[in-house]
């Protein structure tokens, strides 16, 4: 009895997500179908000038995939740190009206700990962009 | 039934995006005392259709040193999430595709996938402008995604649910913008930055980066990036309406009309901002985000928590 109930529950959850799956298939079909259609009707006359990457009219100097600024990497690391924090906040926000003061204080402690990391990153200059 | 709904939603998105480009050109033209497109159809009304047809039959150039398959895939990666997000948006009380209990989380996570398309487009083009545009775009979008995520915690605390329908129902009395003005302002700024619109359109700053990540793209693939950007604008507007402005709720008119009016107002705001504001520098963009918006987001969560506990 118990298992059948939980199975029914699972079926309900999957049933809700089914339209999304169909939508994803439709969106892919639209994108790929449009590309194929345009492939069939468009002209195709390549020449070396046309195929070279744009560089304001001069011949391309070297490969474009060079080293890039470390700042972008630091931003990516900060993103990992704080986005995980956001993910923790979502379930907390949803049940906030049930957990009351205790939950509030706990989350403020959690944010305070992350705030220490934020202040550290700020003092270290990770948020500067020269 | 599901298939009919999907086709309606896809058709409406395409039509609205097409006429959004027309509206943008017209409104900006009039803001700058020009008249905008006038030739194709009455007052240029068929211009978007002519543009679409033109892009469909244009030659599609793949640069010789480009990573061919990634180059072809990245516009698709950009476009599909921009469409799929609409699955959980309630256009009215009865018209929505899927009613899942993690709606907002779904929107945030799926729309975040679009950044892959942009980075891969910049990387695979093997052009310096495209690469720089891709990196800038990635750094900007992932930064402002955090603030977007933080700013909507407040309304979620008030609604007590991630389900988009329940969030709108929770605003039957008072819209959340009254309780959460700071969160609304933060959400709006983050949303504009997230969709790469002026004043935060650094990824495609024409004066320095030609066209940013889609410099090398042409024809239908270019159109996909365009479609994705405008579809994302509509997603950000719809989310603002659902979270802060009471979704489809309003007197007299049917729900879907109210939803369209509210989303339309936001889209007009996007265009208005483009016609009015200059572009920020990249260091300014990062400073606004990390040093001003982030503390304000945390402050908003703390304030909401305290006020909710004391008064509600």
Residue B9: enclosing H or E segment and its boundaries? Answer: helix B2-31
Tell me: the pLDDT tens digits for B136-148? 888 888 888 888 9
Peptide bond into B276 cis (omega under 30): no
Using the beta-carbon criterion (under 8 Å), do B100 and A17 form an inter-chain contact?
yes
- Compute the distance between CA of residue A36 and CA of residue B69 in angstroms, rounded to an integer: 14
pLDDT at A3: 45
Tell me: the pLDDT tens digits for A64-119? 677 777 888 888 888 888 888 888 888 888 888 888 788 888 888 988 988 898 89
- Compute the distance between CA of residue B164 and CA of residue B171 in angstroms, rounded to an integer: 11
**Predicted TM-score (pTM) of this structure:** 0.88
Q: Are A80 and B143 in contact (CB under 8 A)?
A: no
Q: Which two tokens stand for residue B306?
A: 């305290």
Partners of residue A89 in chain B, C-beta under 8 Å: 149-150, 153, 301
Tell me: the pLDDT tens digits for B219-233? 888 889 888 989 999
Put simply, whether A41 touches B (Cβ < 8 Å) is: yes
Spatial CB neighbours of B167, under 8 Å, sequence gap ≥ 6: B103, B104, B155, B156, B159, B161, B242, B243, B247
Spatial CB neighbours of B23, under 8 Å, sequence gap ≥ 6: B267, B268, B271
pLDDT at A11: 59
The alpha carbon of residue B201 is apart from the nearest alpha carbon of chain A, in Å, by: 17
Partners of residue A72 in chain B, C-beta under 8 Å: 135, 138-139
Put simply, whether A62 touches B (Cβ < 8 Å) is: no
Tell me: the pLDDT tens digits for A4-25? 444 455 556 677 888 888 889 9
pLDDT over 80 at A48, yes or no: no
pLDDT at B186: 92
Integer-rounded Cα Rg, in Å, for chain B is: 20
pLDDT at A10: 55
Q: Which residue in chain B has the smallest CA separation from A46?
A: B61
Q: Which domains does chain A have, with CATH numbers?
A: 1-64 (no CATH), 67-123 (1.20.58.1610)
pLDDT over 70 at B305, yes or no: yes
Q: Are B248 and B92 in contact (CB under 8 A)?
A: yes
pLDDT at A12: 64
The alpha carbon of residue B53 is apart from the nearest alpha carbon of chain A, in Å, by: 10
Going by C-alpha positions, the residue among B86, B97, B101 that lies closest to residue B239 is B86
Put simply, whether A86 touches B (Cβ < 8 Å) is: yes
Partners of residue A118 in chain B, C-beta under 8 Å: 294
Integer-rounded Cα Rg, in Å, for chain A is: 26
The alpha carbon of residue A2 is apart from the nearest alpha carbon of chain B, in Å, by: 23
């Amino acid at each position: 009895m118990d298992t059948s109930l939980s199975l029914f529950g699972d079926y309900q959850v999957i049933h809700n997500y089914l339209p999304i799956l169909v939508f994803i298939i439709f969106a892919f079909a639209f994108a790929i179908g449009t590309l194929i259609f345009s492939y069939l009707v468009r002209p195709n006359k390549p020449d070396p000038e046309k195929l070279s990457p744009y560089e304001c009219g001069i011949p391309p100097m070297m490969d474009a995939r060079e080293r890039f600024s470390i700042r972008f990497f630091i931003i990516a690391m900060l993103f990992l740190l704080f986005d995980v924090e956001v993910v923790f906040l979502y379930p907390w926000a949803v049940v906030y009206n049930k957990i009351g003061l205790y939950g509030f204080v706990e989350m403020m402690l959690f944010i305070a700990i992350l705030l220490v990391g934020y202040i550290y990153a700020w003092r270290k200059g990770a948020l500067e962009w020269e | 039934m599901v298939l009919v709904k999907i086709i309606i939603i896809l058709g409406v998105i395409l039509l609205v995006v097409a006429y959004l480009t027309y509206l943008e050109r017209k409104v900006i033209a009039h803001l700058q005392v020009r008249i905008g497109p006038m030739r194709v159809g009455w007052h240029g009304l068929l211009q978007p259709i002519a543009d679409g047809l033109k892009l469909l039959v244009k030659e599609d150039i793949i640069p010789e040193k480009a990573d061919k398959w990634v180059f072809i895939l990245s516009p698709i990666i950009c476009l599909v999430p921009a469409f799929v997000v609409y699955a959980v948006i309630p256009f009215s009380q009865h018209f929505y595709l899927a009613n899942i209990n993690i709606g907002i989380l779904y929107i945030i996570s799926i729309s975040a996938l679009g950044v892959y398309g942009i980075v891969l487009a910049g990387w695979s083009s093997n052009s310096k402008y495209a690469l720089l545009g891709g990196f800038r775009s990635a750094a900007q979008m992932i930064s402002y995604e955090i603030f977007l995520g933080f700013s909507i915690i407040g309304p979620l605390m008030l609604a007590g649910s991630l389900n988009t329908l329940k969030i709108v129902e929770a605003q039957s009395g008072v819209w959340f913008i009254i309780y959460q003005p700071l969160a609304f302002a933060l959400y709006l700024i983050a949303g504009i930055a997230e969709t790469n619109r002026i004043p935060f359109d650094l990824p495609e700053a024409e004066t320095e980066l030609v066209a940013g990540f889609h410099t090398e793209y042409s024809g239908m693939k270019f159109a996909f990036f365009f479609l994705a950007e405008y579809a994302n604008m509509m997603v950000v507007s719809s989310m603002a309406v659902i979270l802060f402005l009471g979704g489809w709720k309003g007197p007299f008119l049917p729900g879907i009309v109210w939803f369209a009016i509210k989303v339309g107002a936001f889209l007009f705001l996007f265009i208005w901002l483009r016609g009015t504001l200059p572009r920020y520098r990249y260091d300014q963009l990062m400073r606004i985000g990390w040093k001003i918006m982030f503390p304000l987001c945390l402050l908003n969560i703390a304030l909401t928590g305290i006020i909710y506990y004391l008064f509600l």
